[in-house]
Chains A and B, each alone.
Chain A
Amino acid sequence: MNFDLSEEQQLLADSLKRYLANEYTMDARAKIVDSPTGWSQTVWAAFAEMGLLGVPFAEEHGGFGGSAVDVMLVMEALGEGLVVEPYWVNVGLAGRLLARGASPAQQKRILPALIQGTNRLAFAHTERGARYDLAHVATRAKKGGAGYTLEGEKRAVLHGASADTLIVSARTGGGDTDPTGISLFLVERSAPGVTLKEYRTIDELRAADVWLSGVTVPAEARLGDEGRALPLIEDAADYATALLCAEAVGAIRFANDATLEYLKTRRQFGVPIGSFQALQHRMVDMVISYEQARSMACLACVKVDTARPAERRHAVSAAKIKVADACRHVSQEAVQLHGGMGMTEELKISHTFRRLTMIGQTFGDAEHHLERFARSDAGGA
């Protein structure tokens, strides 16, 4: 048992934090959010330069072969800095699908460009009515000729418009919610028949609804075995959820630091409001929520790398339950303790509130994971 970070891990996290402190001020961030694309090419290039985009990928593609714990440290820093660039979607989600499901040829074609920051991806999976059921895929892929023809709609594809390539889930067999019959396809965003409607999210990211109308892809565009993509999707969702927990931990840390600072500086009745016990105890409970959430994020990140699927599901759901509860608790209390200022666009705390709120229900809210936790058995296969 040890919680040591290696020198490399510490250096990477420190250099990212330094970069964000200098370059990713709230003013800079506001300009990025308001820009036409909603993310910054310059920041992305800097991430590539720092090697962040390659952390978990194999060295033969230009990555570092890092663990989820390595990426966890990056995610914590990004959460603290409230970064809007599509790191999580690329490295945590699409990157995981590629690392686990793509053929060597596909990896060779896509991963180096992803790691260098020249090609971005997104995962087009969620559909209307699916809620958090990963097996709910009504989009169809019909086999014919030299490939497949895709037909369907995807919703809330995070950072869809920033992607050059979409990883699309579609049915090659079975009914809309069957666990088998789902396949994954690499689809160029610019391919004929692909239509995107982009929108801003409440937490200042970008998402898109995607229509696939007679989109043809060659057989080589299929990722992994035909009809057997669900375990791959579940693995990537769990991996990404563990990392999202780490992002939440970073954002919670910021919310707590900012709130504590506010309690010490804001004066009412002639004294700092932090001298009031009613507020002190609430602040302490926020700190306890942080420590408990951090413990569970560590657990989840360790388990997505090392555990069998049943144990992995168990740990990730447990982590998401705790983290979702902590997101809600800390974000609400942080705004309350900031008083009216906490409501304003002006302070980073309100932006953090929105991000924490959305993290709480990305890839399943606490209730979803309570259900999944009960159905999973850590000792199973």
Chain B
Amino acid sequence: MDLNYSPDELAFRDEVRGWLRGNLPDDLRQKMESYQELSKDELLRWHKILARKGWVAPDWPKEWGGTDWNVVQRYIFEEECGFAATPMIVPFGVRMCAPVLLRFGTEAQKKKFLPRIYNGEDFWCQGYSEPGSGSDLASLKTRAVRDGDHYVVTGQKIWTTLAHHADWIFCLVRTDPNTGKRQDGISFLLIDMKTPGITVRPIVLMDGSKEVNEVFFDEVKVPVENLVHEEGKGWTVAKYLLGYERMGTGRIGASKRELAKLKELASEQTKDGRPLMEDPRFRDRLTRVEVELMALEITNLRFLDQMRRSGRPPGADVSMLKIKGTEIQQAITELMMQAAGPLAQAFRPVDAMDFDHFTARLAPRYCNLRKATIYAGSNEIQRNIIAKATLGL
């Protein structure tokens, strides 16, 4: 057993680290480090830098632009990006639509969409949740009725992240409402956001951020060639995606960086004339988070090692990474906010003179990150998955 990276792995890490140092634009890094919202252009700017380097979609097959990295290299890359504070690669195209097309898509679909996803020419979003279908996704009601060479889609999606930026949306829709099992009769459709009948309405979250939306479909015509996999087999596609979605939700590199930032913050803040970092009550809470993060990093590596040796895709075990990873992220945002004490009340300047933007992001960030244990399958759903798939309950 050897917990250290091998010389090859270390060389790879150094290569990634060095390249990120030289190629991550300062303004983007600073925005990420101070928790600013990124514009569509900023997100795409980083996407295109990575695409030019050939690193935007490491886990795709090589013929489509993948890097041929093994699971450990992919993990190292992911964590180095988090540690360096790169903008995230918006997952809906690269990490979600693309793997689905690669597994279930026709050659024509792959040729049409994959290069555009790779180069950041199409911005994708995900149409899963509906007002009445959150954790119980299979109850979804958005209807797609076949009419000649089109489907006509009517219904509503909600919590659609970055739909206001999106050129395309992949949707789970109901093509057959009369099946015995609710999971049957669901289909996976690719829909051009410019199609008449689509309305996007932003939902403002409690931190003031505008990242999620409602998307309304009113008799939207979708060509039949945009159906992925067979009609009525959308649930198979959705289940396939689940594993992908949960990989990388540990966000260990980013949490390490934020923990270091938290220690810095807690050393600057004082309590009774001493650095807050030396207050045993605060420090012990911070240490417990740090220890959980150390453990999660090794747990993650153990799972990767199992995957590498067995050659099997990630199982329900990765749900653990999602649960722990998001709990840790939330704990860090909470401690950050508490470290700032009364200063954490600051939110937005009324007039922009000498305003401490970093401190003013801490409470909103705490508010915003409450989403982490809700999205991508709430942590309760993750526990259901482990209970069923791993424990056989």
Chain A interface (Cβ within 8 Å of chain B)? 1-5, 69, 260, 263-264, 274-275, 277, 280-281, 283-285, 287-288, 291-296, 298-299, 302, 318, 321-322, 325, 367, 370-371, 373-374
In the complex, B391 has a CB within 8 A of chain A: yes
Chain B hits for A295, CB < 8 A? 294-299, 302
When the two chains form their complex, are residues A1 and B287 in contact, meaning their CB atoms are under 8 A apart? Answer: no
Most chain A CB within a 10 A radius of its CB, from B5, B280, B298, B390: B298
CB proximity of B393 to chain A, nearest CB, Å: 4
CB proximity of A16 to chain B, nearest CB, Å: 18
Q: Given contacts A280-B393, A302-B1, A318-B294, is CB(A1)–CB(B387) below 8 Å?
A: no
A287 to B319, CA, bound (A): 12
A2 to B287, CA, bound (A): 27
What are 13 A-B contacts with C-beta separation under 8 Å? Answer: A1-B3, A3-B1, A4-B305, A260-B393, A264-B393, A280-B387, A281-B387, A287-B390, A292-B296, A292-B324, A296-B291, A298-B298, A370-B287
Of B224-232, B250-258, B378-386, the one with at least 4 CB within 8 A of chain A: B378-386
In the complex, B392 has a CB within 8 A of chain A: yes
When the two chains form their complex, are residues B391 and A284 in contact, meaning their CB atoms are under 8 A apart? Answer: yes
Chain B hits for A298, CB < 8 A? 1, 3, 298, 302
When the two chains form their complex, are residues B292 and A283 in contact, meaning their CB atoms are under 8 A apart? Answer: no
A111 to B335, CA, bound (A): 50
In the complex, B320 has a CB within 8 A of chain A: yes
Question: What's the dominant secondary structure at chain B's contact region?
Answer: helix
A367 to B288, CA, bound (A): 10
Chain B hits for A294, CB < 8 A? 299, 302
A185 to B6, CA, bound (A): 42
A205 to B280, CA, bound (A): 34
When the two chains form their complex, are residues A263 and B5 in contact, meaning their CB atoms are under 8 A apart? Answer: no
A2 to B70, CA, bound (A): 13
A224 to B324, CA, bound (A): 45
When the two chains form their complex, are residues B291 and A318 in contact, meaning their CB atoms are under 8 A apart? Answer: yes
CB proximity of B223 to chain A, nearest CB, Å: 42
When the two chains form their complex, are residues B2 and A373 in contact, meaning their CB atoms are under 8 A apart? Answer: no
In the complex, B45 has a CB within 8 A of chain A: no
Who on chain B is nearest to A3 by CB? B305
Who on chain B is nearest to A303 by CB? B3
Chain B hits for A284, CB < 8 A? 383, 386-387, 391
A264 to B299, CA, bound (A): 27
When the two chains form their complex, are residues A280 and B383 in contact, meaning their CB atoms are under 8 A apart? Answer: yes
When the two chains form their complex, are residues A374 and B287 in contact, meaning their CB atoms are under 8 A apart? Answer: yes
CB proximity of A312 to chain B, nearest CB, Å: 14
